[in-house]
Structure 1
């Protein structure tokens, strides 16, 4: 027997007499030591920490990436991602590469939805055979966003997917504070930048050509762009060439993307994530999927918990995928909807006349607040321990005539019930100053992007 084997045998014999609690504590300490050694002193561990940090950076909790890589490395990764986003948006799009070959189609022939899957994810893709049938739709009342299923039912659309990004405090925003630009019917119905400031755009020209890249409102108008939204993410495909380097460096998450073939056919992709049946896709996996579909140009739309694909059967909308939000489908500021008669609909100018937009948050999210109230009710309804009753004094005749004792009976103290606490966060409020700093309507410096302050990148 080797010296190492002898040491392990002696240790195991010694542990045999330990209590279950001591064995558990030892096993936990060994697990922490082994995991830490792997994560911080091996090449595979380093790769795992980078992957975790990349995934966290593209969520609402991106600041916590420092836990696995440190604050300095996190900031370097954020800067690198910003540079990749900027690089992907530089190439001007060649609109002549798309040769539309569309014909009149009925509503039943306008779209086709299919299942898609990869090693770690599942999702849906929808073909739209006439790109001029796609319109941007927005909420119809001020103060909160609208679910895509509601938009589809309200407008009579054939189908729809989520659109652009928005300010999203706590990951519980109300969906009414867009980021960037929203265009519908050739008009900017919302913008937070000057007309000559380039922004990241996903849109369609009047002829139905998909436009993806970094363009100002003035440029879009000169290109005859009719519908558009903004979302800060790398361009996937530009003029037939993939733009994603490596796996994209954004980890795995729910994704929404849109691409277009040379014949004008649009492919809308929605991939589930952060769930047992589907962890999520990398940027590269989405790129490879769309390249295999023959996409000439493609870009990302808002992802994470916002990713949703909706179709309509009769008067009812059907959510085709499984959104990752614990409250189901989210309220959103915009969506790309498909219409059998697109000229009969027009997006509402719902932001006109509003000087300050409240993005909402945990403090006023209806589902979150309802969840808190239910927890409080359960906590108040749970039985509380009762105080032990004090022993009664003797009722014998001698006790009646005896003088009061100066010593209190044992156990005679009373127990006062304590006020219970539910232990749940009450949800922070967005201060006016904080809201104002993120409030769409304040032009951002040209070319300046920061993943750390882009709330809805991938919730």
Structure 2
């Protein structure tokens, strides 16, 4: 009897000892199943649900923070790279009308027109750095020399072409959405030569400069740009100032931003802002940038690539504080300021 009782007690102890293990396994299995259900449901709701604003916000956030490569797995690979790239251009679509070129002065610029002025503006949620270039004919579009493979930082492009200053430029895509800036999107031109978009008849949101140093911005095809004798062009937007008046644009929150504009006298305005936690600052809104452009008398202005891309360099130094953990981000294009011909580079 004693032996039988001991065996019964031992069996009960074993069963009791196995219960916590089974409970733990069940809990882990239940937790994993719940996580997968929530993840799959959320992914389908965000990327394929009825809320297009939520979908666009998620794509914008990941794309602007250099984590676009996560969008494919987060969407369960139901969103293609082509769709992500198309969204990048679509969100920057502009108005078709632009400031008439005749309203921006053209003249024979001399060495006395070569000054570069750098200002700092402290807003409530951002710090802005404003560069004013007196001679618009010093403006060029620089393109990564590793096009199709990798981008370059603004400083590297400035060094490549012997410029004295530069800011990041337009939209780009890259291999596997790794944020390396390999391929400029839209139409890209330098010195009158077509870098990307050759043979295309489509219209893209373009920011460009003619041979006379006049800035134009709007939706243009390659043939339309060539008819206007455009020498430098890249793709981004939207337009912020048109004919000296602010253009209403959708609110995209507070971020580091980059923008370009021009006054009626031809001076070019380059603006970058810090944000996303830099020194406790959130960043600037589109309305903030528009207001700054108007304060500096822009008759036309447009937004450039922002977020982690936002960079300004001048005389070999980084002017702003990029938010990317690795420092200045690699991009596909930059807008650079060339040295004054026959005079000072300042």
TM-score (norm 1): 0.54
2:296 equivalent among 287, 293, 297: 293
Q: In the alignment, is residue 119 of structure 1 matched against residue 106 of structure 2?
A: no
**What SS does the aligned partner of 1:137 have?**
strand
Specify the structure having the higher radius of gyration (Cα). Answer: 1
Write out per-residue CA displacement over residues 105-151 of structure 1, whole angstroms, 9 at most, x where no aligned residue: 379x5311111221100120100100001111112245211111112
Counterparts of 2:206 and 2:96 in 1: how far apart (Å)?
A: 12
Match of 2:38 in 1: none
**What SS does the aligned partner of 1:290 have?**
helix
Q: Which moved more, 1:142-151 or 1:318-327?
A: 142-151
Whether the 8 Å CA contact 1:55–1:252 is kept in 2: the answer is no
Match of 1:268 in 2: 270
Q: In the alignment, is residue 95 of structure 1 matched against residue 101 of structure 2?
A: yes
Match of 2:60 in 1: 58
Q: Which moved more, 1:259-268 or 1:165-174?
A: 165-174
Whether the 8 Å CA contact 1:134–1:342 is kept in 2: the answer is no
Whether the 8 Å CA contact 1:101–1:264 is kept in 2: the answer is no
Write out per-residue CA displacement over residues 283-339 of structure 1, whole angstroms, 9 at most, x where no aligned residue: 111111111211001111111111101111xxxx21100111111111111111111
Whether the 8 Å CA contact 1:55–1:251 is kept in 2: the answer is no
Q: Which moved more, 1:125-134 or 1:233-242?
A: 233-242
Write out per-residue CA displacement over residues 347-387 of structure 1, whole angstroms, 9 at most, x where no aligned residue: xxxxxxxxxxxxxxxxxxxxxxxxxxxxxxxxxxxxxxxxx
How many residues are aligned here? 271
Change (3 A) 1:258 1:275: same
Counterparts of 2:324 and 2:91 in 1: how far apart (Å)?
A: 28
**How far did 1:102 drift?**
6.5
**What SS does the aligned partner of 1:180 have?**
coil
Write out per-residue CA displacement over residues 29-87 of structure 1, whole angstroms, 9 at most, x where no aligned residue: xxxxxxxxxxxxxxxxxxxxxx99986553226999xxxxxxxxxxxxxxxx999854x
1:184 equivalent among 186, 190, 193: 190
RMSD: 3.1
Q: In the alignment, is residue 226 of structure 1 matched against residue 231 of structure 2?
A: yes
Counterparts of 1:185 and 1:114 in 2: how far apart (Å)?
A: 29
Unaligned residue ranges in structure 2 (runs of 5+): 1-52, 72-87
Moved over 3 A (4+): 51-57, 61-64, 81-86, 100-103, 168-172
Whether the 8 Å CA contact 2:252–2:286 is kept in 1: the answer is yes
Counterparts of 1:83 and 1:136 in 2: how far apart (Å)?
A: 22
Counterparts of 2:89 and 2:169 in 1: how far apart (Å)?
A: 21
Change (3 A) 1:169 1:60: farther
Match of 1:242 in 2: 246
